[in-house]
Chains A and B, each alone.
Chain A
Amino acid sequence: NAGVTQTPKFQVLKTGQSMTLQCAQDMNHNSMYWYRQDPGMGLRLIYYSASEGTTDKGEVPNGYNVSRLNKREFSLRLESAAPSQTSVYFCASLPATGVSPLHFGNGTRLTVT
């Protein structure tokens, strides 16, 4: 099992460009999450999907959209990138709602110039 796979690992964008961050998990987990991590800010939840077919906003959703394509895949889209979106993005998954640990991908380091 690969666990949670994120692509790409690194990306540089110019202001105004768009891109989609991909995330896939092969553990048959129900819930999937997107976090961003900035120095001194910890991990902040952008969007999450409690189950296939549902998505909800987290703490910092502005400037992002998500798609839960199927049970395995949860993508994060930046329609018009801004320098404030320079960050490390982590995708995570969870077996079921309830008491379970998050499984994280290796992250995508995004720079917007």
Chain B
Amino acid sequence: GQQVMQIPQYQHVQEGEDFTTYCNSSTTLSNIQWYKQRPGGHPVFLIQLVKSGEVKKQKRLTFQFGEAKKNSSLHITATQTTDVGTYFCALNSGGSNYKLTFGKGTLLTVNP
């Protein structure tokens, strides 16, 4: 089956520092999605990447999709306490049924 590795598992930063989480797949992906889950909440969709080498930005968040479509990253510039939560990548390798395989997530904590 499809394997997905997400690192790091945990990251603690001081407010204002940058943060990056990485997602790697064992197979070539048709697309990748990123979700954020606040403590006690449910996952909320952030973005979807489809094209090889794609880079998308949402304010302080930058998302990249690797050239080989096997890896992706999420970078947050100058973290804020509102960034606290777990960030998940979700992979879809394609096919007729749409199944997303989630990474184990990166828990980000921010010290004010």
Contact assessment for B99 and A48 in the assembled complex, using a CB-CB cutoff below 8 Å: yes
Q: Sort chain B's interface into a size bin.
A: 20 to 34
Contact assessment for B102 and A42 in the assembled complex, using a CB-CB cutoff below 8 Å: yes
The residue that A90 contacts in the complex, of B43, B45, B99, B101, with Cβ under 8 A, is: B43
Give bound CA distance, A48 to B44, whole Å. Answer: 19
Stretch of A14-22, A70-78, A91-99 at the chain-chain interface: A91-99
Contact assessment for A56 and B97 in the assembled complex, using a CB-CB cutoff below 8 Å: yes
| Interface residues as binary, B69-112 with A (CB distance below 8 Å gives 1, 0 otherwise) | 00000000000000000001010100011111111110000000
| Interface residues as binary, A31-58 with B (CB distance below 8 Å gives 1, 0 otherwise) | 1000100001111110010100000101
Which residues of A pack against B, CB within 8 Å?
31, 35, 40-45, 48, 50, 56, 58-59, 90, 94, 97-107
Which residues of B pack against A, CB within 8 Å?
1, 6, 9, 30-31, 33, 35, 41-45, 48, 50, 88, 90, 92, 96-105
